[in-house]
Structure 1
Amino acid sequence: MNPKQQRRMMYGVQVLFIVYLYILVKIILFKFGTIDPVFLWHQLQQGPHNLISSLHTGNLIPLATLSDTYDHPTPHNLLNLTGNIALFIPYGLFLVLLSPHGKSSGSFTGVLLWSFALSAALEGSQALFYIGTFDVDDLLLNTIGGLLGYLLLRPVMQLCPSRSTEEKCNAHTQYQGP
């Protein structure tokens, strides 16, 4: 693949990443509803009362929600558990794909920290805007999802250590037949 094709592919990945982030915000914060800036502004004007109330009704005890899911495995609890993990798998994939040679944000530590940071921002936004339930276990599950995305893509990236050695990568990944 020539450099021009590589740039186009990278732009495509960047566009997909932006679309993914939009969908992620729409699912986590707005539960598939419309994004209404007027409503958000109104919620912000309620002052600290909403934030305090949201934190009181949320879960601040690590592993409490996971323990409840284990003790009472309802379809809703299981969907919440798997959904929180599944929603962040693409995030881990994108962090690896968008980082040059898998360094910095595409490393294990980078994916761990960035997944936690994005999850904390989304959970904090739920509490701040009083539009969801803050749950510390969601931070854990989302971070695990990001790391799963990393772990799924990293072996493939190891076969292709740099974009300049594409021929070597193609030789390793092409089907050789019986």
Structure 2
Amino acid sequence: MSETFVDGRSLRSLARVSHGHASREINGNKNSRTYSSWMAMRTRCTNPKRENSDRYFDRGITICERWESFDNFLADMGERPEGTSLDRYPDFNGNYEPGNCRWATPREQARNTRRTRLDFNSAVGVAILRIIGVSCKDIAEMFGISESLPREIVKRRSWPDACETAERLVQRHADQDETSEFKRLLAK
């Protein structure tokens, strides 16, 4: 069967453009990051046989009707920046829809999960307590986190920006507090 061409493009190619994949065709990139993210989102929410369906499909996470069209998704989200992926934010339990999605870095994604027990301010608090000598076990009990997390924060393996903020706050307080008690805590 021979292929039919219009204005130098095959009908098959033109059909792809008319079925919501215009950015892939126009840019000549059939593997665009944005389109891949859109397809992955659709698969997560619509395929009950997908591995980890309990994280999306089984929980009732859906895609808004507007985003059934790739063109609408692209218009609302823009092209996916390098080093990011699709994240449901600010409500990680919410649906895929405008106002609840962003392009997020791996660090931002890691901080926006059902497993996350800390926000930035809490992580700063954990770091301050560890810096002044509170035991990891006591901090873990206070915040409902693992005993290793306070150590990981202070070593900057996790929440490095929170550790930097905590160090600045502790130092500022130490500079302003001439009492020996606070300096004694810092000396530990």
For this structure pair, what is the TM-score category when the shorter chain's length is used for normalisation? under 0.3
Which structure shows the higher strand fraction?
Answer: 2
Larger Cα-atom Rg: 2
Greater RCO between the two (CA within 8 Å, min separation 6)?
1
TM-score computed with the length of structure 2 as normaliser:
0.23
Relative to its length, the structure with more helix (as a share) is 1
Relative to the length of structure 1, the TM-score reads: 0.24
